[in-house]
Structure 1
């Protein structure tokens, strides 16, 4: 049982209703979290079949298009007259938008119509003097990759460059030089061949009986692409032609991406951490934890449904192992082929089904509590206010590790300062108590003997065991500690610096509301087109509220955002900007250091709305004796007779139970939403 008084969260609220008290997570089934995927489907209700296989992203469409460019007559030769246009053309329009796509086509025509004299002049100047066009800003790394690939594939005569998040396009000088030696069609075919990099494939130019001309083509290809290809001339009935073949190279794990197998599934876990569940699955499937990818980390003490993808485990094998996984308390469903791994943040949000038990009104000054009718009225007011006005969008205690002696944000700060040894010692600082994992931590801190600590560490503590294995192998010095952090999957590694940034954000929003009020003021940042399906925005374009807009009340508090610290964010142009600088300087981060090169981590930062609003919020009040789906006698029995008796007495005094159902955007917390309703903070 957990009292709903959320710790680690500053004491600021949006509404002024009186609230109520109650308990959550009496049973794990009282707190059910179901992920909502980017197609706005609950991941436990997906329809798996030909009609609704996961939609591939642009990268997957491009890879498929590239693989289809092989000649039907000879699978090792790519012909220059294959039609590549339609799927990528449609996809690029979606990526850029119709207006930008049409402008890009006009830019292409302009570059193609340049006179030969002007083209030669441009080729002899620096790249910076070449005409270029901006395609806009693409904050998502995978979206940028998709744009680069789509441009290369559809418009080989153009090249793309990235500055921060902005993608610019300009003429491809290599293409222009080659098209001066061969036809435009052959140039396009060759550059698509180079972009595809299909192992064992070759590209053949049309026959050319002029030896000096063939020599010039050989020299160009050797000079510009000699590390990738080898060329030779051969005779056929039509004359002498040049064949280009990819050089064979030593096979690595990054080669032949199209041969990798990705299997998607929905994981249901109960009372397990995400990494703990992944550790169990990896052991059962003969995989490693880094083979699993997911969109978000879910609560431990809850029933959670989330999408996952595992690499190089076929659908058949995962299906065959489902029964064995279920014996470990892990249920997999909706197993299907997937085009690629999942990435953190690629979800629309989460759906919550919550039960709050033992409802009572807050005690007045004399300790007296209201009657059940007054409690019901308080609940109705609270739910109505949150439904209408939302709640302060704090990061919840899960972000910091509630109940831990040393919380995650302190570990994250040590990592940001690149104090790897200090971060490891903080991570292994034991809590009070003699539980096996605390004994193992205590032993490591006292002796630095990772091997002995590993023997003491419970199998369920996957994170700790991964790090102890690395520390045993590489030692407890700076290099060993760095390798220990690198042993964690990326999503877990980046969790700690993110926890620090989240702590700063929580403090920032509390300071903003306490000192500057609940209305937008001059210098605040607003995201004018903030999408409803995202809780954070990486987009760097922000609008700064002017004095006139403050006076006219142009914006609402729901449109105000505050930055999560990072390398690319802009800070407010009012007192909050100074607050951020002083706050980071106090922690030794005055130079804005949010890259950890040793751990391959980069935190660009993002913008988070001050206010979040639950969607599709419904509630029911149940009286004593009414059944609540999700309660369980078995869990009651495990707690013992004394606990059951105490619960019975509690229920007699507080007979009302609240059932809540609502959706939140990703990175918003149900416990924080409850906190706004209940006005309960300890």
Structure 2
């Protein structure tokens, strides 16, 4: 039964950690302590770290008066007042493709034309040029789209997509239909009304690059949800907005994003229309932001009601504070110097009873039907309530109930057609499966393998990567248990030779390959080699040089007892009875190349710790980016009309009209009452009787914050059954 949950989130218990292979630690702890995370969602702050090492922070909201970043923050914030904020529609008109003047028409080089013709044929190459130039066909009609005809070779299709983007400078958009044919259409230009877009005293908003880069700040929203909301307001596809990685939902986060063919003023106009989201710091660039294009993330995590496990409550609070400060700082210093095991965190394995790694195991074992049924698993009690019409009022819970109801209808065979119709679209994997299995009535109900291949590539990869991560965690624990931080013969290190290697796969935000992408990557694959006895004993290599592979067909395994452990562990029946040396599958979508991951991880910068006494759990201990902006602009705003420039508690439960005339769901409806941010504590004369810890650290892009906290705090005691998080809730944070 799913119970209402408290605001705060607790860490996974030791037994759960053991199930996913997290059993060892490199940091000696003299005390184990606990703390409540995310009493306020601003207790968990995440700021992206760009490739150049700069931490992304929201410094201004909306448009700037001047094209400079040297103004005071309050001046920047004032530029989008309620009266002057432009409407999104005014600067987001679609310019349909028109005939291009003869002097501007494109003539591609003979080499580029030959490259296109060799991939398909000359006619398709000619048609693409006509499409780009807005020419007419033989019937006198303007060419609006062209098709290649069916193409079976998926790698060739990937090359065609890449060449069309390159040659026509991303002005032609290509897609593949069910027959394998590639269809190209012209990307419409966006233009504003024919007037000075800058307004009085403001510069013209003339794009100087194809992509508009911006900082996305969000409170209590996941990245995909924020992107979808912005895209809906701008009337574009969510895929048009690029980002380097997804950030936590129940948190205050900042990250860089990009959107193609968009003006600053159009994007700024969304700030007054969306709760929990703010954009700013606009800049035009020639290139988009891609997944994985980040160095890491900076975390500021507040842990409240901190207690040492087993410590008497009779000990004076001041003594407990000093004891914790000394012990926790010592552990943090040790981590900064020596690092910790680079485990994959709980988030990697999902939050339902059946973990994502278990689904990946079934897929790799060719157990298609079992994998589909595992994906469609449901809670009978919730499904029964939904069937009886006992539907919650909160939008998110309504969707959750609908999911359980749909899965029940399908798996019991009561009404498979209705199951596909009522499955909420935000459950992407389940929706893809049900649509595929019911597309031909009863004739397609058993096409389980086909249903799995119709799941989006990113989601499909997630299940397979989860199994790899499950194996990696257990191997890493075995390696540390047997050998600790000693380098031994047969350990793998990254090769520094220039051996020829196939291209790497497209990466997700965690640095993992998205399985079976188009062949468009440029970098060479990373190779590893085993250390000899002499090298292991030489002292030239440390534990921070050692890597472990996730199982795949394109990796090498350690040449020692750890390499043999891969075979023994994966060969167990409960782990799929799989062979790490045969990771290719007849279906390419399920073949895994594997990758190397450092055994140890270290902070990117010196971490910090603040421990203090407090009395009210709703007190905010560390300001968010938005708090800093509002604080800087408070003097200017005092006495004037106040507006909600960005995420705010004020007015959060009000309904707003959508572009189409409908209503947006309110803050409370979208998240449920249990997720609403508690009001911040005011100054209180109450005697401080609790301890809070504010920890700040920077992690690389594939490291997990909760793994870091576990290393710092120790394994929490086992939770009572009534305290365990409900199915579908999250208790982890990955970078």
How does the TM-score come out when normalised to structure 1?
A: 0.62
TM-aligned CA deviation for residue 271 of structure 1 = 3.5
Counterpart position of 2:331: 382
CA distance in 1, matches of 2:227, 2:432: 12
Instruction: Find 2:694's aligned residue among 636, 659, 668.
Output: 659
TM-aligned CA deviation for residue 354 of structure 1 = 0.8
TM-aligned CA deviation for residue 592 of structure 1 = 4.2
Counterpart position of 1:620: 610
Conservation of the 8 A alpha-carbon contact between 2:230 and 2:270: no
Larger RCO, structure (CA 8 Å, separation 6 or more): 2
CA distance in 2, matches of 1:652, 1:439: 49
How does the TM-score come out when normalised to structure 2?
A: 0.58
Conservation of the 8 A alpha-carbon contact between 2:34 and 2:307: yes
Conservation of the 8 A alpha-carbon contact between 1:285 and 1:321: no
CA radius of gyration, larger in = 1
Counterpart position of 1:569: 555
Instruction: Find 1:4's aligned residue among 1, 11, 25.
Output: 11
Instruction: Find 1:400's aligned residue among 325, 345, 349.
Output: 349
Counterpart position of 1:250: 146
CA distance in 1, matches of 2:412, 2:282: 46
Conservation of the 8 A alpha-carbon contact between 1:275 and 1:463: no
| 1:2 alignment partner, SS class | coil
| 1:494 alignment partner, SS class | helix
TM-aligned CA deviation for residue 323 of structure 1 = 4.0
CA distance in 1, matches of 2:407, 2:691: 42
Conservation of the 8 A alpha-carbon contact between 2:50 and 2:295: yes
Conservation of the 8 A alpha-carbon contact between 1:540 and 1:570: no
CA distance in 2, matches of 1:471, 1:277: 30
| Root mean square deviation, CA, Å | 4.6
Instruction: Find 2:308's aligned residue among 361, 370, 378.
Output: 361
Conservation of the 8 A alpha-carbon contact between 2:321 and 2:612: no
CA distance in 1, matches of 2:440, 2:413: 16
Counterpart position of 1:549: 535
5+ residue gaps, structure 2, are 1-7, 70-101, 127-143, 149-159, 173-186, 188-209, 383-399, 498-508, 514-523, 625-647, 651-667, 680-685, 719-735
CA distance in 2, matches of 1:315, 1:486: 37
Tell whether 2:34 aligns with 1:21. Answer: yes
CA distance in 2, matches of 1:265, 1:597: 43
TM-aligned CA deviation for residue 452 of structure 1 = 2.5
Counterpart position of 1:259: 171
Instruction: Find 1:499's aligned residue among 466, 482, 489.
Output: 466
How big is each residue's C-alpha offset from its partner over 1:330-359, in whole Å with a ceiling of 9 and x where there is no partner? Answer: 434445555455443222111111111111
How big is each residue's C-alpha offset from its partner over 1:270-298, in whole Å with a ceiling of 9 and x where there is no partner? Answer: 43444444554555554555555433233
| Number of positions where the alignment pairs a residue of Structure 1 with one of Structure 2 | 501
Counterpart position of 1:61: none
Counterpart position of 1:413: 361
| 2:347 alignment partner, SS class | helix
5+ residue gaps, structure 1, are 53-71, 79-188, 200-221, 231-247, 645-650
Tell whether 2:564 aligns with 1:578. Answer: yes
Conservation of the 8 A alpha-carbon contact between 1:265 and 1:308: yes
Structure with the higher fraction of residues in helix conformation: 1
Conservation of the 8 A alpha-carbon contact between 1:474 and 1:483: no
CA distance in 2, matches of 1:499, 1:549: 33
CA pair 338-496 structure 1, distance change in 2 beyond 3 A = farther
CA pair 543-423 structure 1, distance change in 2 beyond 3 A = same
| 1:258 alignment partner, SS class | coil
CA distance in 2, matches of 1:528, 1:591: 21
CA pair 485-306 structure 1, distance change in 2 beyond 3 A = farther
Counterpart position of 1:429: 377
CA pair 303-613 structure 1, distance change in 2 beyond 3 A = same
TM-aligned CA deviation for residue 577 of structure 1 = 1.1
| 2:48 alignment partner, SS class | strand
| 2:170 alignment partner, SS class | helix
| 1:623 alignment partner, SS class | strand
